[in-house]
């Protein structure tokens, strides 16, 4: 996929605090990219740097090969949707959306036509005469999107725009945003701290931590083959098991399972990632099992999380489908099995 935006060696400091550390990233044409990480990791600073609201201390940003660093935000071929939507309360929905084209010199008629076209794209074609205060949170979100796309940007930046919505509406808007991006055929860069949100919408996820990019990949790649301990713990639930590399280059796991060794990714000790869904309840006596006691049971509805402690004191979490079996309770003795091929080894933990 041809690159629309190339971010080259971008760094940014605020006093003694380093917000971005040597960021290298490309955004493809028509690609949906999520910037994912905890608060303070640098994802919003990176978005604001792309938008032009923050200027890097070093590095450059190229859009279609042009250095956009010297351009003010309004001259860049992109637009931004903020958390609070930033709608004008004294303007109707139609006037809010037509404001951008009017500022760019479009006639009232052309601006009105483009506003109606944008409102149709987001499913609000019949609500142009309403005011923002008369609309629900989800509708206001759509107005903000219409206003952002009305000027036909090459790139749309979204700074946690769904965070104020309730869970059910947020999930619906995730799919609507993805469908809108596909319909428009433009690139989206979406900031979020919600792993499920990023995995639902993005073609690629950029996991950030302490101003650095930890890993870039699809949802499947990042979940199945995390590049670092941080990514393994941040993306979904993970059981992390230490291992040591022996003289034969085999990883020996700190699990009470006889003769369990795996090829080590490098010569350093590290951790193995065992996802909870890969631990299963088995009959006592099966080879390669872990003996444990149930310490807690969390029923989520579609699945149950069993928090267990092995006989040698290791705490693990197993996920089983549906409701817990009737005989299981806190204090129950269980046997757990897993396929060693499901383990993902990370050498030289960071």
- Could you tell me whether strands 32-36 and 187-192 are parallel, antiparallel, or unpaired per DSSP bridges? parallel
Residues facing 290 on adjacent strands:
336
Helix residue ranges, H only, 192-228 = 195-201, 219-224
**Model confidence pLDDT, tens digit, residues 35-55:** 999 999 999 999 999 999 999
Half-sphere exposure of 223 (CA within 13 A, CB side): 15
CA distance 88 to 317: 48
Residue ranges of domains in the chain, CATH in brackets: 3-230 (3.40.50.300), 243-347 (2.40.50.140)
Percent of the chain with pLDDT over 90: 71
302 φ, ψ (degrees, to nearest 5): -75, -20
Percent of the chain with pLDDT over 70: 99
Q: In what order do the strands lie in the sheet with 17-28?
A: 17-28, 3-14, 58-63, 66-67
Threshold 0.95, pTM exceeds: no
pLDDT number for residue 197? 94
Kindly give the parts of the chain with pLDDT less than 50: 350
pLDDT number for residue 242? 92
CA distance 140 to 96: 11
3-state secondary structure of 234: helix
CA distance 65 to 88: 35
**Model confidence pLDDT, tens digit, residues 297-315:** 999 888 999 999 998 899 9
Contact 278, 339 (CB under 8 A): yes
pLDDT number for residue 258? 61
pLDDT number for residue 240? 95
CA distance 127 to 36: 33
277 φ, ψ (degrees, to nearest 5): -70, -10
Tell which residue, 25, 345, 6, has the closest CA to residue 215. 25
pLDDT number for residue 267? 83
């Amino acid at each position: 996929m041809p690159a629309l935006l190339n971010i080259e060696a971008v760094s940014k400091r605020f006093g003694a605090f380093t917000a971005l550390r040597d960021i290298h990233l490309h955004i493809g044409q028509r690609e949906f990219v999520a910037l994912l990480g905890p608060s303070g990791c640098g994802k919003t600073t990176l978005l604001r740097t792309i938008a032009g609201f923050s200027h890097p201390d070093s590095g450059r940003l190229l859009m279609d090969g042009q250095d956009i660093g010297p351009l003010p935000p309004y001259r860049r071929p992109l637009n931004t949707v903020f958390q609070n939507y930033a709608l004008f309360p004294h303007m109707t929905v139609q006037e809010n959306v037509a404001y951008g084209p009017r500022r760019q010199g479009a006639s009232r008629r052309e601006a009105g036509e483009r506003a109606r076209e944008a409102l149709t794209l987001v499913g609000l074609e019949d609500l142009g005469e309403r005011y923002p205060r008369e609309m629900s949170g989800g509708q206001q979100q759509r107005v903000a999107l219409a206003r952002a796309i009305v000027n036909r940007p090459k790139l749309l930046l979204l700074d946690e725009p769904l965070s104020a919505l309730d869970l059910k509406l947020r999930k619906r808007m995730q799919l609507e945003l993805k469908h809108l991006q596909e319909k428009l055929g433009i690139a989206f860069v979406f900031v979020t701290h919600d792993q499920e949100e990023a995995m639902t919408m993005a073609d690629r996820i950029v996991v950030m931590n302490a101003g650095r990019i930890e890993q870039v990949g699809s949802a499947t790649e990042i979940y199945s083959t995390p590049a670092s301990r941080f990514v393994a713990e941040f993306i979904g639930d993970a059981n992390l098991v230490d291992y040591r590399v022996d003289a034969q280059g085999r990883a020996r796991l700190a699990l009470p399972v006889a003769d369990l060794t795996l090829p080590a990714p490098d010569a350093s000790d590290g951790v193995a990632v065992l996802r909870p869904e890969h631990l299963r309840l088995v009959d006592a006596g099966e080879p390669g099992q872990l003996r444990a006691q149930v310490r807690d049971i969390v029923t989520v509805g579609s699945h149950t999380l069993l928090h267990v402690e092995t006989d040698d004191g290791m705490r693990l979490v197993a996920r089983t489908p549906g409701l817990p079996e009737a005989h299981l309770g806190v204090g129950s003795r269980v046997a757990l099995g897993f396929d060693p091929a499901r383990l993902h080894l990370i050498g030289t933990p960071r």
